[in-house]
Amino acid sequence: MPDLADKSIVITGGSSGIGAATAIECARAGMDCVLVARRRDRLAEVAAEVARLGRRAELVACDIADPRSSEAILDAAERAFGGFHAVFANAGYGLERDVLATPIDEMRRMFEVNFFSGADLLQQAARRLIAAERPGHLLMCSSCVAKFTLPRHGAYSATKAAQAMVARAMRSELAHHGIEVSTVHPVTTTTEFFEVAAGEDRRHLRNGIPPHVPALFVQKPDRIGKAVVRCLRRPHPEVWTSHVVRLVAGAFTAFPSLQEWVMRGEARKYRARDARTSASKPGPDAKNAGPAGESSGG
């Protein structure tokens, strides 16, 4: 089992959610962190927690979709810590939107952030590890929806599936260099994800989570962070934090008609929610309808 003490890890999307939780768990395991995100103030908060645990954190505030960001991130790791042992390409976002309602420019942007930026970072990290003749561990934060899709999350699911396939190929291609590659497959996690995905209309969310998601499938970010550390210590191809969802993913793959039946039911729930939301909006005469009309407008 590899000793993680005094090794370093690069984490994109490190200012909140899974990235921040993973940084804290890595610090507990004795690792230093290169934290990457756009919000420097939020990065500083995570860095303070890393320091409280006795480890160092280097901050890189950038847009990972910038083609120059990967080189800048890895350069920062080499300046601060003399290199890196692990890289966790975690940054990403989603949109709650039908595929037909997703402009191709928005879909392309999502692929740039979720897939291409992570693939570029792992490529460049692998090249540096090979040149230095050092072993290492590359991780990509995919999702359970890499294995099955959901209504209104088709574009997001596509980016996650692309991540999983590229990482799986890299795992076999880089094994002879002593470089491990793993994908992380969270289920619904209490982060900012659904608030961002919902856009301006967040009235249907409950504590940031869609109401139809069973509590059994909702997890806190630190659960994923702990699972990542376990994978760093004992590398394996995929990290799952819900055995139930993993079994469901396998069943959906084996029986596509089962997935179709479930997903059509989910699509009906979304349409019913849309109908309720539309009915709750005030009509043209709402300003004269008194308190009830004002209340229904949210």
Q: pLDDT (tens digit, 9 = 90+) per residue, 120-137?
A: 999 999 999 999 999 999
Residue 14 located in a structural domain: yes
**For residue 213, what is the domain's CATH number?**
3.40.50.720
Q: Which residues contact 289 (CB under 8 A, 6 or more apart)?
A: 282, 283
Tokens of 243: 């055995």
Residue 96 located in a structural domain: yes
**Coil/strand/helix, residue 51:** helix
The predicted-structure confidence for 206-247, as pLDDT tens digits, reads as follows 545 455 555 556 788 999 999 999 999 999 999 999 999 999
Q: Indicate the pTM of the whole model.
A: 0.83
| Dihedral (CA of 37, 82, 80, 235) sign | positive
d(CA 53, CA 84): 19
Residue 279 predicted with pLDDT over 80: no
Structural domain of residue 94, as residue ranges?
8-242
Residue 280 located in a structural domain: no
Q: What mean pLDDT do residues 36-41 have?
A: 94
Residue 287 located in a structural domain: no
pLDDT band at 273 (very low <50, low <70, confident <90, very high): confident
Looking at the chain, the whole-number percentage of residues with pLDDT higher than 70 is 84
Q: Which residues contact 133 (CB under 8 A, 6 or more apart)?
A: none
Look up residue 182 and give its amino acid. S
Res 280: pLDDT: 67
Residue 298 located in a structural domain: no
Looking at the chain, the whole-number percentage of residues with pLDDT higher than 90 is 70
Give me the residues paired with residue 12 across strands.
36
Residue 89 host element (H or E): strand 86-89
Contact 198, 96 (CB under 8 A): yes
d(CA 186, CA 102): 24
**Helical spans, DSSP H, in 133-210:** 154-174, 193-198
Distances (CA, A) of 64 to 14, 125, 168, 208: 12, 14, 22, 25
d(CA 187, CA 197): 15
d(CA 46, CA 37): 11
Residue 218 located in a structural domain: yes
- Residue reference for tokens 């595929």: 99
Contact 139, 115 (CB under 8 A): no
How many domains are contained in the chain?
1
Number of H helices, E strands in the chain: 11, 9
Q: What mean pLDDT do residues 92-107 have?
A: 93
Residue 82 located in a structural domain: yes
Nearest Cα to 14, choosing from 75, 89, 66?
Answer: 89
